[in-house]
Structure formats: structure tokens, C-alpha cells
Chains A and B, each alone.
Chain A
């Protein structure tokens, strides 16, 4: 029994993804219609409540988002984009980031949310 427990433990430890320390810490808004995201195929853009922006856990100025995205997508066109913005962030900041995504010719973005049950 202890052997089986150990085996299962090793399995779950190895399949869990250990996330590196976040450059910008956020509290995501909730949504019911959210779909699952596969993190290994995504570029992660994080926007903090004060407007701090991180690109794959590296802090960058907000105006650099478009240029960096264009570079990454030229190298790997199949990468998806997920936007992790804090629930308290003013919409104007998020709108600026979405505008930059449009200029980088991004076709689809996933707005990351926490799961909320239907009312």
C-alpha cells in the first residue's frame, strides 16, 4: 500500500507544473464561459492593477508588447496568447494591450479567468 502511494506521489509530483515566481502578481476575474488553456503553447501577458506588464514572466514597458509579440510570432506562428490581467486593472490599460495585440496581427487572445459557477 505504501509502495502504491509512493508511486502515485512520484507521478503527481512529476506531472505538476511548477510555475516560476511571477513578475507581476494578479488576481484574475471570474467567468462561467471560460475554456481550458494549455499553458505550454501560450505566450503569457500579465497586467497588474497599477499597469505593470510582464511578458512570459519578464517585466517590460507596456509599449513594447506589440514589438515583442511580433518577434515571437514570426519565430513560432502557432503560439497562442493568454492575457492575465488583474480584476482591479482599469480597462484603459487592458485596452492598450489589446490594441498592441491587434497591431501585432494576433488573431485570437484568451482572457484568463478563474472559474465561476453559473448563477
Chain B
């Protein structure tokens, strides 16, 4: 009796899982490329030698950021999240209002950015940056 001998197939690596790996990598690069966009707050700086503007007190609001990151608007303590609504009201009443931002040298940079963010959201266009503490 002739028994048919099966030809042994050449060994090969299964590539079925390659598409799984490809999809995983694809999802990774899709998600990371969307997250890698840098964002930032724009700040226009004065030119050296630019003449100083004298401001009337009624056109000026002072925001103090202490070393403890506590925010005071014209001397009254205000939570950071309320700075925007506080300022927006005043900007509506006094167009051209200048925001004087006085930051303590020991204040964390995050506190300054949080207040600047609120000031920008409130629509303030003119800013005076100062390093120091309230007297």
C-alpha cells in the first residue's frame, strides 16, 4: 500500500499579529501627535526707552500676588477664579482700564500665570508688570 507522504512545509513566522502591533502604534502616534501642540499666553513687552504713561487712579486697578499666592484686587482678597468676573465688570465700566500686576518675588510662577490668564479672559488690553509687594 502506497502511503502518501505529506511534504513538510517550510517553517515560517506567522505575521497575523503584525496588524495588531501596527494598529497599536497607530493609535499611540495619533494620540501623542494631538497632545504635543504647545500653547501659551502672549505678552507684548514695552521697548526700552519707551516713555512712561502717567495713569489716573480711576483708570487703574492693582492686583497683588503675594508670596503665599494669595491674590488681592485693590487690597481686597479675591479667589483667583473670581478675578476674571471682578475685572470684566470694571473694564465694562471703564474702557481703557490699565491692570497693574504686582507680584511678590517669592510668588510661584504658576500663581502669576493663573492671574494673567484671568486678566486676559476678562478682556484687559493694557498691563503693567511689577515685581514687589504691597506696602
Contact = CB atoms under 8 A, between A and B. Distances in A.
A102 B40 contact: no
Given A31-B114, A103-B48, A110 B43 contact: yes
A24 interface: no
Interface in A83-119: 83, 85-92, 94-95, 98, 101-103, 105-116, 118-119
Interface residues on B, range: 35 or more
Contacts of A114: 39
Most chain B beta carbons < 10 A, residue from A89, A90, A101: A90
A111 B116 contact: yes
Contacts of B10: none
Contacts of B12: none
Interface stretch (A11-19, A57-65, A71-79): A11-19
A22 interface: no
B37 interface: yes
Interface stretch (B56-64, B87-95, B101-109): B101-109
Q: Contact residue range for chain A? A: 35 or more
A9 interface: yes
A91 B121 contact: no
Interface string A21-53: 000000001111111110100000001000000
Contacts of B43: 108-111
Contacts of A29: 109-110, 113-114
Contacts of B8: none
B41 interface: yes
24 contacts: A2-B19, A5-B23, A6-B22, A9-B25, A15-B33, A31-B117, A34-B117, A35-B39, A35-B41, A37-B38, A37-B39, A87-B108, A90-B106, A90-B107, A91-B65, A91-B109, A94-B109, A107-B45, A110-B41, A110-B42, A112-B39, A112-B40, A113-B41, A118-B121
Interface of B: 18-19, 22-23, 25-26, 29-30, 32-33, 36-48, 65, 81, 103-114, 116-117, 120-121, 129, 131
